[in-house]
Amino acid sequence: DSGVTQTPKHLITATGQRVTLRCSPRSGDLSVYWYQQSLDQGLQFLIQYYNGEERAKGNILERFSAQQFPDLHSELNLSSLELGDSALYFCASSQGPAYNSPLHFGNGTRLTVT
């Protein structure tokens, strides 16, 4: 058990809808990262937050947004969903903003857009 908790585990929704994915980092970790994993793309970095502030941005679509709250949990909001957004979404956490320490991953949320 990595200590990173993601909810829900599964999400099925229709095109055009909006969903929110939630992540609680490991105790003591201040950084939260969001990744998308699809069969043809592998693990793609979306965004990082450190202690409530955006730290780095990757290949995140404008329809997607994220935030980290004062209690350090994070939410990833996906709107105007398309079929191609179906994927596994992982959250990971680490202690610092840019340390050479490993990221610890949750077990992901599987999103299916129909």
Partner 1 sequence: EDQVTQSPEALRLQEGESSSLNCSYTVSGLRGLFWYRQDPGKGPEFLFTLYSAGEEKEKERLKATLTKKESFLHITAPKPEDSATYLCAVQDGSSNTGKLIFGQGTTLQVKP
Residues near partner 1 (CB under 8 A) are 2, 4, 31, 33, 42-43, 45, 48, 55-56, 58, 90, 92, 94, 96-108, 110
Residue whose CB is less far from partner 1, 9 or 18:
9
| Least distance to partner 1, CB of residue 39, Å | 10
Residue whose CB is less far from partner 1, 79 or 105:
105
Say how far apart CA 60 and CA 74 lie, in whole Å: 15
CA 77 to chain centre: 9
Which two three-digit tokens encode residue 82? 């398309």
| Least distance to partner 1, CB of residue 31, Å | 6
| Least distance to partner 1, CB of residue 12, Å | 16
Give the three-class secondary structure for 84. helix
Helix spans in the chain (H): none
Which two three-digit tokens encode residue 87? 């994927």
